[in-house]
Amino acid sequence: MATNFFSQQDLARRNTRILISLFTLAVVLLLLLTNALVLVGLGLVDLQQVNNQQPLSHNLPWTMVFITSISVIIAVGIAVLVKWQQLKGGGKVVATSLGGNRIDAASNDPLERRLLNVVEEMAIAANVPVPPVYLLPEKGINAFAAGYSPGDAVIGVTRGCVEQLNRDELQGVMAHEFSHILNGDMRMNIRMIAILNGILFLGHIGYFMLRSGSTSRGRIGRSSGSNKNKNAGGLLAIALGLVVIGYLGSFFGNLIKAAVSRQREYLADASAVQFSRNPRGIAGALKRIGAHSAGTRIRNSNADENSHLFFGEAISRWASIFATHPPLAKRIKRLEPHWNGKFPSPINQVDPAVEQSPPPPTSSARSDNAAPDSHKMLQAIAALPLLLVQNSRQPLQAQAIVCALLLQNAHVEAAQLQLIKTQGSLELLQNVDQIIDAVQKLRLPLQVQLLQRTVPALKQLSQQQFAQFEQLIQALIAADQQVSLPQWIVTQFIEHTVASHFQPKPQLRGSRKTDMLALQGPVLALLSAVANAAGDAPDGATASKQAWLAGLASMGLTVDTPRPDSPLAALTGHLNDLLSAAPLVKQQIWQAILAAVTADKLETDNEQALLLALALLLEMPWQPAAAVN
For the chain, how big is the Rg over CA atoms in Å? 28
Q: Give the CA-trace dihedral at 367, 372, 373, 377, to 10 degrees.
A: 50
- pLDDT, residue 228, reads 52
pLDDT in tens, 426-482: 999 999 999 999 999 999 999 999 999 999 999 999 999 999 999 999 999 999 888
Q: Closest Cα partner for 195 from 274, 51, 108, 87?
A: 87
Length of the chain, please? 629
Instruction: Please state, in angstroms and rounded to a whole number, the distance separating the CA atoms of residues 393 and 116.
Output: 10
What number of CA atoms fall less than 13 Å from residue 117's CA on the CB side? 19
Distance CA 112, CA 135 (A): 9
In this model, does residue 182 exceed pLDDT 70? Answer: yes
- Whether the pTM exceeds 0.75: the reply is yes
- Burial of 424-441, coded b for 16+ CB within 10 Å and e otherwise, reads beeebbebbeebbebbee
Please give the class, per CATH, of domain 93-183+270-335: alpha beta
Percent of the chain exceeding pLDDT 90 equals 32
Query: Which range is least confidently modeled, 18-22, 30-34, 208-212, 524-528?
Result: 208-212
Q: Does residue 615 contact residue 622 with C-beta atoms inside 8 Å?
A: yes
Percent of residues, the chain, with pLDDT higher than 70:
79
Contact between 395 and 501 (Cβ < 8 Å): no
pLDDT greater than 90 at residue 2:
no
The mean pLDDT of the chain is 81
- Does residue 221 surpass a pLDDT of 80? no
Mean pLDDT of 211-221: 53
Q: What is the pLDDT of residue 365?
A: 36
Which residues on neighbouring strands pair with residue 517, listed in sequence order? Answer: none
Q: What is d(CA 206, CA 213) in angstroms, rounded to the nearest whole number?
A: 10
Sequence-separated (6 or more) residues with CB below 8 Å from residue 525 = 564, 567, 570, 571, 574
How far is 129 from 254, CA to CA, in rounded Å? 32
CB-CB contact of 153 with 95 (8 Å): no
Q: Which of these ranges, 9-18, 47-56, 109-118, 121-130, has the smallest mean pLDDT?
A: 47-56
Q: Which of 217-226, 365-374, 497-506, 533-542 has the lowest mean pLDDT?
A: 365-374
Enumerate the active-site residues: 177
For residue 45, what pLDDT is reported?
65
Confidence check: pLDDT of 362 > 50: no
Question: What is the rounded CA–CA span in Å between residue 173 and residue 414?
Answer: 47
Q: What is the largest CA-CA distance in the chain?
A: 99
HSE-CB of 225 using CA atoms within 13 angstroms: 8
Q: How many of the other CB atoms lie within 10 Å of CB of 306?
A: 24
pLDDT at 377 over 60: no
Q: What is the pLDDT of residues 70-127, one digit of tens each?
A: 888 888 888 888 888 888 888 899 999 999 999 999 898 999 999 999 999 889 888 8
pLDDT at 461: 94
Q: Where are the domains of the chain?
A: 5-89+189-261, 93-183+270-335, 383-504, 509-628
- What is the full DSSP assignment across 362-377? -TTTS-TTS-HHHHHH
- The predicted pLDDT at position 4 comes to 66
Residue 159: pLDDT over 90: yes
pLDDT surpassing 50 at residue 625:
no
Residue 333, pLDDT > 80, answer yes
More confident of the two residues 621 and 448: 448
